[in-house]
Chains A and B, each alone.
Chain A
Amino acid sequence: MLAGMAALLLVCAIASLGIGRIDIPFWRVVEVLCSAVVPSPTITPLEWNVVVTVRLPRVLLALLSGGGLALAGAALQGVFRNPLVGPQVVGVSSGAAFGGTLAILLSLPRFGLLSFAFFFGLLALVLVYGLNSFVSRRNLLALVLAGVVVHGFFGALVSLVQYLADTEDKLPAMVFWLLGSLATASWSKVALVCGPVLVGGGLLLALRWRINLLSMGDEDARALGIDVERMRWFVLALVAAIVSAQVAVSGIIGWIGLVVPHTARMLVGPDHRTMMPASFLLGGFFLIVVDDVARTVSGTEIPLGILTALIGTPVFAFLLRRSQRMGGRHG
């Protein structure tokens, strides 16, 4: 199953390199990519430019962003023992959004934006977690409400920053960044996101069986010999790193971290050992496809956050209905 998903992802990624204003057939794209290793005289500079300079960073960015978000969502769902949470629900995204807009307001360089997004993303997660255990630890409603509270708080701060921003220059930058887009993809952005996603994601994947244990609840996990608090903080920090790196390079792209893990669980079952890698592959696949739509369907680019929300909300409603029908089980 996982191999099939990986193959699907690869085919989709290669096909996406050929899609756009200049259409390049699938096998031609493969030839262009191969020419990086074995130079081929038939490849034109235009084809090389389109595939490698323009589209490859964009597709890689979509893969890393989508995969990272889905993986982060899968880990959060395991840690919070709840299939209804995602990076947005627990506040990471809005915290990171505030950090990012603040960085734009202060004209910080890209790395500053990443650090600000990480710091406030983690802060928001800590606030939601603290608020939840302060109100009632085992209660899903309390968790969601804590998320709403923190989301509202950081939302207000984002608005404040936007209000203070220069309307000519910085405000449009903030708005477009917040809507989520890969239009400004570049190799330097790929380099920026690939560290946190590959390292954080790799560590999360290495911990995937431990996340099964964490999902059993604090007491049971402790009885099984897990240092629950430390493990949970470690996972949450990794999630914050991945999500804020994604937010820093491609803005707010909602719903992937919620819907994709859900779908992965439906396809491969609840065991995080297979469900987390499946989430990464599906998340990457999903965002590559959505980005293909975003850049080809009309003359101007559609912001990704809008598309993922338009697709994510009805899918999520459907999944919710389905899981309720299955006797309240998730799945």
Chain B
Amino acid sequence: MAEPGLWLQNAGHSFDGSAWQFQALDLQLRRGEILAILGPNGRGKSTLLRCMAGLLGLSTGTVRATGHIGFVPQDFARSFPYSTLDIVLMGRARHISLFGTPGSRDEKIALDALGTVGMRAVAGKSFDDLSGGQRQLVLIARALAGENEILLLDEPASALDLHNQDKVLSLVHRLSCEGLAVAFTTHQPNHALAIADQVLLMPELGLALVGGADAVMTEANLQTLYGLPVRTLRFEEGGEPRAAVVPLYRGRARPDAGQR
């Protein structure tokens, strides 16, 4: 069994002490494992991820981690047009003394991290000039440059086109194979199916279901989660069993044709 990376015990969070976003949540994320967190907007996916990262305090319970956590935001409100390399170098902050600045070793690590995500060529470009997909990869590189053992990604593939979604998901999978513990939030059930070992569903306030994709991502659960009927298609592709979640959008249906 791989060594554990991050635990939540009896974890709960509520901003006002009454409406719980999650409650009594137990979770174990091991090295080499990927956890996908699924939930509709406003259900507390990001809150949970921030609690795991230690950016928000839990209202109840504990979070423990062995190793450093790299938090990868979806994006951030940018202030100054730093170069891509400067952004990645910031990931080295934990390893650089208070009055220090990054040295050549830090620069090498940052460039290597950019190489790992295939973005070395844009090191000298302004981060602001990159596309959304490139920015996401660079932010992952920044977390890698910090030599973290645990990666927490906030909607890493949500704002990207299909090609870039694939790129980010493959990268995340590769990193977990290299021994990182990874958790990410997503709106896309198919992203969870593609790479996750564990899935956490937040179907209603205060409730979280954790388990393997097959056990948790049932059509009924997903329907409750998104308030919309879904079908899971199972098929073979190149001899491998695959699955895809298809939402049954009501787009063209007449308003009176079906009940909610």
Contacts and interface: CB of A to CB of B under 8 A. Distances in A.
B90 A224 contact: yes
A331 B101 contact: no
Contacts of B94: 224-225
Q: Chain B interface mostly helix, strand, loop or mixed?
A: loop
B49 to A, nearest CB: 11
A270 B81 CA distance: 6
Nearest to B102: A209
Contacts of B93: 210, 213, 224-226
B82 A271 contact: yes
B76 A216 contact: yes
Given A219-B55, A224-B94, A273-B101, A212 B82 contact: yes
A212 B55 CA distance: 20
A222 B82 contact: no
Contacts of A208: 101
Interface range on chain B: under 10, 10 to 19, 20 to 34, or 35 or more? 20 to 34
Interface string B28-44: 00000000000000000
A138 B98 CA distance: 26
A206 interface: yes
Interface in B95-126: 96, 98-102
A211 B79 CA distance: 12
A265 B81 CA distance: 10
Given A215-B79, A219-B73, A224 B91 contact: yes
A325 interface: no
B139 to A, nearest CB: 10
Contacts, number: 66
Nearest to A83: B80
Given A208-B101, A210-B98, A271-B86, A220 B73 contact: yes
B53 interface: yes
A216 B79 contact: yes
A312 interface: no
A224 B146 contact: yes
A206 to B, nearest CB: 4
B71 interface: yes
B99 A207 contact: yes
B71 A212 contact: no
A209 B82 contact: no
Contact of A138 (B73, B77, B90, B96): B77
Interface in B53-94: 53, 55, 70-71, 73, 76-77, 79-83, 86, 90-91, 93-94
B3 interface: no
Most buried by A among B70, B71, B79, B81: B79
Most buried by B among A209, A213, A226: A209
Given A224-B90, A224-B93, A209 B79 contact: no
B79 A217 contact: yes
B55 A213 contact: no
A216 B90 contact: yes
Interface string A200-244: 000100111110110111011011111000000000000000000
B55 A271 contact: no
Contacts of B128: 329
A82 B101 contact: no
B101 A220 contact: no
A76 to B, nearest CB: 13
Contacts of A110: none
A213 B102 CA distance: 12
Interface string A308-331: 000000000000000000000111
A170 interface: no
Most buried by A among B71, B77, B90: B90
Contacts of B146: 224-225
A212 B98 contact: no
Nearest to B69: A223
B79 A82 contact: yes
A206 B99 CA distance: 5
A241 B93 CA distance: 27
Contacts of A215: 79-80
A209 B101 contact: yes
Interface string A127-170: 00000000000100000000000000000000000000000000
A329 B80 CA distance: 8
A81 B82 CA distance: 12
B155 to A, nearest CB: 15
Contacts of A270: 80-82
Contacts of B86: 212, 271
A83 B79 CA distance: 8
Contacts of A212: 82, 86, 90
Interface in A89-109: none
A271 B73 contact: no
A270 B87 CA distance: 12
Nearest to B100: A209
13 contacts: A81-B79, A83-B80, A207-B98, A208-B101, A209-B101, A212-B86, A219-B50, A220-B73, A223-B70, A225-B146, A269-B83, A270-B81, A271-B83
* Those 7 A-B pairs whose CB atoms lie nearest each other, nearest first: A270-B80, A81-B79, A223-B71, A206-B99, A225-B94, A209-B101, A224-B93
Given A215-B79, A223-B53, A223-B70, 9 more contacts: A81-B77, A210-B93, A210-B98, A212-B90, A222-B55, A224-B90, A224-B94, A270-B82, A271-B83
